[in-house]
Amino acid sequence: MDDLLPLLVALPLLGAAVLVAGGRLVPRLVAESVACAVSAGTAALALVLLLNCSPPMVEWAGGWVPVNGRSVGIVLVGDGPGLGMAALASLLTLAALAYSWRYFDEPPRGHAGSFPALVLLFQAGMCGFALAGDLFNAFVWFELMSVVAYALTGHRVEEARAVQGALTFAVVNSLGAYCLLMGIALLYARTGELAMTQIGRGLDRAAGPDGPDVLVLAAFVLVLTGLLVKAAAVPFHFWLPDAHAVAPTPVCMVLSGVMVELGAYGVWRVYGTVFAGPGGIPAADFERALTVLGALTAAVGAILCWYQRHLKRLLAYSTVAHMGLFLLGIGVLKPEADDGIALYLLGHAGVKAALFACAGILLDRYGSVDEHALRGRARELRGVAVLFTLGALGLAGLPPFGTALGKSITEEAVGGPLTVLYVLATAVTAGAVLRVAARVFLGLGPPPENGDAYETTGSGERPETRHRLGRIPDSMKAVPAVLLAGVLAVGVGPGFADVVAHAVNEAGSGGVLVASVHWTPAGILLGLASTALAVGLAAVAVTRPKLLAPAWALPLRRLQSGHVGDYVAWLLVGAAVLGALALPGVLGS
Amino acid sequence: MTAVTHVLPYLVAVWIFLIGCYGLATSRNLIHAVGCLSVCQAATYVLLLAVGYRDGATAPVFSDVEPGSRPVVDPVVQALALTDVVVGATVTALLLALVVQVAKRHGTVDPDELSELRG
Amino acid sequence: MADAVIIVALLLVAAAATTAVLVRDPVRQALVLAVLGVLLAVLFTTLQAPDVGLSQLAVGSALTPLLLLLTVRKVRRRGRKEGPRR
Amino acid sequence: MNRRIRLWLVAVAGTALAALLVAACLDLPDFGGDRHPYGDRAVDASLARHTANTVASVNFDQRAFDTLGELTVLFAAVVGCVVLLRQTRDEHRARPEPEPVARPVRRYALAVLPVALLTGLYVIAHGQLSPGGGFQGGVVAATALHLLYLGADYRALERVRPLGLYEAGDAVAVSAYLVTGLAGLIGATAFLANTLLPYGTFNTLSSGGTVPLLNAAVGMEVACAVVVLLARFLDQAVEIEDPTGKGSGTP
């Protein structure tokens, strides 16, 4: 069973190659159905492998099994979290392909297969990164994931915004990838190994009696800078709202649903295997670094999410806020927090993809994603209104949803003060989404006047389909419905949470089995509280827009300038801050 | 003098990386910025190959050298650097494709004049 | 003790990289990047890495500057009506 | 934020990072040190499989999964450039009139073209023996084709370079690499395993088992990829005109 792991990467690649080779000979329908079939096959394989990953699977590519503990080959690790992320990536790619069924205006002349091929390459990159047990191999799949994401984000080249957003996304992520590679070079110089667990052992052996030295700290800063750029932590997050505001909707679903989360998974994986030993970064430093960055990210994401009127940018900032919450959960370094974050991440992926799908429907039906321009125009889309509101409530953490279960378990693990931040961040983001739902679908409240000029309005966008959709094809409505049903299943599925917790603990803390995770009264109460707060915020915002729009957040909004130079400067500042946060442990020892 | 040469290649790599980042952050022309990004990437080649060097060693190619007769340099970093060179070329090609489209749609390649995505 | 050739190659590469960043005109930068590519190929050869040197020569000093110049031509050709771009 | 603040931020963060990285460099093992455990193991494994060029053995045998990823990155960039540089509905193609080419240049280009093409193929074929291999040979072969643009004109180049064929060639090369890997999985023990073919005698063209096959696949893929990339950029630079011609493009 182990040697099927590389197939998770090889199958989508083969599908993409076949699509590009035969793309021009077959009609568009055949190309898209082949893509869906290959994506579904990979998802099925991922789920089958996930079902029997209780002893984590280890596969040496090329058959280079270790000889007395040493090997020259590349190791792929098929444990719970890895295969879980690969399965999630495959399922979301399948959902995106189903959503974009005969969706785009005509593809480039004679290249019917190019968009599905790029989406399959995207799936291959994500699966490869999720399974990588070798640090340089993770960098290669990280690079593939990024290159395909740049091309997909800039897919609508006739839109001025799309190409600018894709360019800033490409420059910032490439610089992050080069930082990651510099970190790998330093670790290779010190340990002479590339497999993550081997590097960890090498660091422990090489570390003197007084623990890590500056080289380990520099490698930690460089590797984590690359991963945190992908995970959109403050101050590396600037590329995400620009990229999500312009990417085609199916791409947004996959970008926000799983690619950004892979950054947080990468942070968890790299720290657990490489930097967790005595020779690595002391736990207190890692905890301080991630707690500070996570809290900042959650706060900035939530505040800026509240101010947006462009629907996709609003959802993008909500993703930034949730990434902050995930990093906080990972930073606490407790097995219960890891289980909670795994469930929360699964739930959030489904909810966020469903919300982006509904935003895409609005864009294609009315040619705009601007909250003010759409006020009251979407009354006849009953089904979409229900899906959108359910998604917003899921985002807020309403109990039956998987997000609420994950949030409650994590809140229990992170303790008091951080729980307040969890409740506030989810309430503000969900409140913004509920405000949009109330205005767009119900047309409530007075017409809001335009804010100052320093904002990106959602109007003036062209629908992604050739012409405005008279009738919404049911494939575009079925996908969000199925995703929300999945999130409900995560929440109420019997024993599902225990399976996830068992898999995560077995991989993370070496099988320290934790008490079964389940709904707790306190968790349910916190979930209801955050939902009530969200509904309240939305109600106040709709009825008296002046009240909840203070101007003190304006300087924060000016930082999101869309200027490549600014984002690169902030990346350097972020790396320096990360170094400063993790410095005490290295100096102290 | 010998103390400096033990660490000179690493310092050169760090210098190239930081000067590339400086150029990228302060560039007034997107094509120039893409050039600076490829300079940043050149730093990773220099660091990788400097890590793999061995004094008095030859290239790890045994078509004309008797295996085992002479010490050889580390071939693994060369494979990593090769992969990195090709990845760099592809990222540069994609970025330049996007710059062409930015110039076409915005009429300018000066990042200060791009004003579409704000706030 | 690294011999003198490597040190000279390293200093030349550092100088070429700094020049490539400080020169602001894309056309001149493309030429300096080509020179940087050749110098890197020389450095890699002195570091006993002929494979990487050959691919850097082919990619870094031939392909990348060519793409840069084609992009400049596309941008400049469009910009000629509005006066030469900086 | 304005330029001055950005400059200041870069200066402060840059110095902090420089301090951290320089301190790390001082902790690195001395340049030219003798401890390369992975490298020594890689050399032994390469010689065990009769591959003279150890870098090719690491690239195409020991860490072939990395090269699969990197090959796919190049393939993704080709498909990405095809999508990003496509001719949108509001653009038209202008036929460039053939420029007069000086006689010696034409003779030189047409004379050197077969030599360059042969050199590229030679470098690919001897990948696992002497320095070189799929990547370098592929780029040389691809640039050889464009000597026609120097020698004759753009239409001559377009006649000899049907783009659809090269994109399909790129995809076929990637499929060939994957099929070789799957053969390893089915025939032998693991994906991309190099235990199917005999390793042949050392230092000959057929030595190294599947290394020459993967080398050829990568060579073909890189050649096709570079041709398509250059073609897309040449089309934009030479042929595709903006609708308004005034250069402002659609708002």
For all residues of chain D together, what is the average pLDDT? Answer: 85
Domain with D230, as residue range(s), is: 36-241
What lies within 8 Å, CB to CB, of D113 at 6+ separation is: D144, D145, D147, D148, D151
Is residue C85 pLDDT above 50, yes or no?
A: no
Is residue D246 pLDDT above 50, yes or no?
A: no
Report the alpha-carbon distance of residue A178 to residue A30 in Å, rounded: 39
Asked whether residue A289 is domain-assigned, the answer is no
* Interface contact flag, A158 B105, Cβ < 8 Å: yes
Number of domains observed in the structure of chain D: 1
Specify whether the CB–CB gap between A192 and D36 falls below 8 A.
Answer: yes
Residue A235: asked if its preceding bond is cis (omega within 30°), the reply is yes
Residues of D in contact with C62 (CB under 8 A): 139, 143
- Written as one letter, the residue type at A493 is G
Question: Residue D92: which H helix or E strand, with range?
Answer: strand D92-93
Confidence class of residue D21 from pLDDT cuts 50, 70 and 90? very high
pLDDT given at position D251: 36
Q: Among residues 346-365 of chain A, which lie with CB inside 8 Å of chain D?
A: none
Task: Provide the H-helix boundaries in chain D.
Answer: 3-27, 37-48, 54-57, 64-84, 103-125, 134-145, 147-151, 154-160, 163-187, 211-234
Which of D6, D13, D84 lies nearest to residue A576, judging by beta carbons?
D13
Asked whether residue A442 is domain-assigned, the answer is yes
pLDDT given at position C52: 93
| C-alpha pair distances (Å), A499 with each of A125, A238, A513 | 26, 36, 11
Is residue D212 pLDDT above 80, yes or no?
A: yes
Both tokens of D139, joined, read 């780029």
Is residue D250 pLDDT above 60, yes or no?
A: no
Residues of D in contact with C54 (CB under 8 A): 123, 131-132, 136
Asked whether residue A221 is domain-assigned, the answer is no
Check if B35 contacts D (Cβ < 8 Å): no
* Interface contact flag, A62 D84, Cβ < 8 Å: no
Helices A239-246 and A311-331 cross at an angle (nearest 10°) of: 140
Confidence class of residue D146 from pLDDT cuts 50, 70 and 90? confident
Q: Which residues of D194-209 are buried (b: 16+ CB within 10 A; e: fewer)?
A: bbebebbebbeeebbb
pTM of the model: 0.94
pLDDT given at position C79: 56
Task: Report the share of chain D in percent with pLDDT over 90.
Answer: 33
Asked whether residue D82 is domain-assigned, the answer is yes
Which residue bears the tokens 């000086």?
D102
Numbers of helices and strands, H then E, in chain B: 3, 0
* Interface contact flag, D6 B25, Cβ < 8 Å: yes
pLDDT given at position A237: 93
Last residue of a domain, one of A106, A131, A156: A131
What is the arithmetic mean of pLDDT over B32-51? 95
Last residue of a domain, one of A131, A151, A175: A131
Domain ranges of chain B: 2-113
Asked whether residue D166 is domain-assigned, the answer is yes
Beta bridge partners of A59: A76
Residues of B in contact with C51 (CB under 8 A): 78, 82
Mutation pick from A198, A568, A572, A577 vs chain D, by most beta carbons of D within 10 Å, is A572
* pLDDT tens sequence across C36-80: 999 999 999 999 999 999 999 989 888 999 999 989 988 887 655
State how far residue A314 is from chain D, nearest Cα, in angstroms: 22
State how far residue D147 is from chain B, nearest Cα, in angstroms: 20
What is the arithmetic mean of pLDDT over D75-99? 82
Question: For C41, what's the count of Cα atoms within 13 Å in the CB-facing half-sphere?
Answer: 17
* Interface contact flag, D74 B90, Cβ < 8 Å: yes
Q: Among residues 44-73 of chain B, which lie with CB inside 8 Å of chain D?
A: 50-55, 59-63, 67, 71-73
pLDDT given at position C82: 43
Which of B54, B100, B105 lies nearest to residue D36, judging by beta carbons?
B54
* Interface contact flag, C40 B86, Cβ < 8 Å: no
Sign of CA dihedral A331, A334, A338, A344: negative
What is the arithmetic mean of pLDDT over D60-89? 90
Which of A185, A194, A560 lies nearest to residue B47, judging by beta carbons?
A185
Number of domains observed in the structure of chain A: 2
Q: Among residues 65-84 of chain C, which lie with CB inside 8 Å of chain D?
A: 66-67, 70-71, 73-74, 77-82
Domain with A347, as residue range(s), is: 299-315+329-549
Report the alpha-carbon distance of residue D129 to residue D212 in Å, rounded: 10
A278 or C35, higher pLDDT: C35
Question: For C29, what's the count of Cα atoms within 13 Å in the CB-facing half-sphere?
Answer: 29
* Interface contact flag, C67 B82, Cβ < 8 Å: no
pLDDT given at position D244: 56
Nearest chain D alpha carbon to C68? D233
Asked whether residue A217 is domain-assigned, the answer is no
Phi and psi of A58, rounded to 5°?
-130, 125
pLDDT given at position A511: 61
B&D contacts, CB < 8 Å:
157
Specify whether the CB–CB gap between B117 and A242 falls below 8 A.
Answer: yes
**DSSP characters over chain C:** ---HHHHHHHHHHHHHHHHHHH---HHHHHHHHHHHHHHHHHHHHHTT-HHHHHHIIIIIIIIHHHHHHHHHHHHHHHHGGG----
Which of C14, C50, C60 lies nearest to residue B16, judging by beta carbons?
C14
* pLDDT tens sequence across D223-244: 999 999 988 888 888 777 776 5
* Interface contact flag, A566 D1, Cβ < 8 Å: yes
Check if B111 contacts D (Cβ < 8 Å): no
Fold of B2-113: Helix Hairpins (1.10.287)
Asked whether residue A278 is domain-assigned, the answer is no
Residues of A in contact with B116 (CB under 8 A): 160-161, 164, 456, 562
pLDDT by 10-residue block (mean), chain A, 589 residues: 89 94 83 93 93 86 86 90 94 93 64 86 96 95 95 88 92 96 95 92 85 90 96 93 90 93 95 90 92 95 90 93 95 90 94 94 86 84 91 92 92 89 94 92 77 67 72 84 93 85 78 72 91 92 76 80 91 94 78
